[in-house]
Every structure is written in structure tokens, then in C-alpha cells.
Amino acid sequence: MTDRLRLLNVVVHAYHGLYAEEQQLGQRFEIDVELLLDLAPAGRSDDPQDTVDYTAVLALIEEVATQRRFGLVEALAEALASELQRQFSGLQGAIVRVRKPNPPVAVTFDGLEVEIERHWTAD
């Protein structure tokens, strides 16, 4: 069984995209992260040492999303998942969703979303 800790709709202004306008002006991105881990120890102990520090995860999301640049939202999602794995050893995996609500295209639609799911084994 895997438990989930969800961080929903983290909003950043960033400069990802293939078009020059996106790279110069930037745009809004919305990011959801589901952390897959065993939450039972924290639930029993009520001790923050037994879970993941979600403020550190939020800082990581903001850093990767705003300090690096990607052409594709798929690459941003993959970079987020890789950094989560690297920096938080207790995770069994993560689901990362990246939304671009207003892509610069000539058709009106509600935006696009990429979702990736990664599972890790203990080393």
C-alpha cells in the first residue's frame, strides 16, 4: 500500500516553451505533485520527522520551475520528478502534473496538462 501527500496547484510564473514569446514574456504554470510514501509512521507518532517536509518540496518545485528553462512541459515534469527522487530519499515515487493554462496558440481552449508517474525502488 502506498499513501499520498498531495501539493495542489503550485502557481509559478516561468519561461518555458518553444515560442520566442514564451521565452521572453513567460507565463503562468500550475503544478501538482503527489508524493508516494508510507505516511503511517507520521500518523502514529505525530512527529514531522516521520514524514516529508512539504515546505522543502514546495521550495524545490519553485526553484526547478523558475530557475531552469525547458521547451516542453514534459521536460519540466521529468526534471521535477528527478529532483524529488534525488532530494527526498523516503519517497517511493511521485506523480507530477504540469499545466499551461494559456498556451500561445490561435485556438481557444482550457490549456494543456502533462502528467507523469514515476516509481522508485529502495537502493
Three-class secondary structure of residue 88 per DSSP? coil
Tell me the CATH class for 3-119. Answer: alpha beta
Contact 98, 76 (CB under 8 A): yes
Contact 92, 118 (CB under 8 A): no
Locate 57 and state its grid cell: 518540496
pLDDT at 123 over 60: no
Three-class secondary structure of residue 35 per DSSP? strand
Please write the tens of the pLDDT for every residue from 88-112: 999 999 999 999 998 888 899 999 9
Determine which one of 32, 100, 116, 119 is catalytic: 100
Please write the tens of the pLDDT for every residue from 36-55: 999 999 999 999 999 999 99
CA distance 23 to 108: 21
Which pLDDT value is given to residue 122? 64
What type of residue is 87? Q
Told to judge if 115 belongs to the known catalytic residues of this protein, a careful annotator would answer no
* Secondary structure E strands in the chain: 3-14, 27-37, 93-100, 112-119
Domains of the chain, residue spans: 3-119
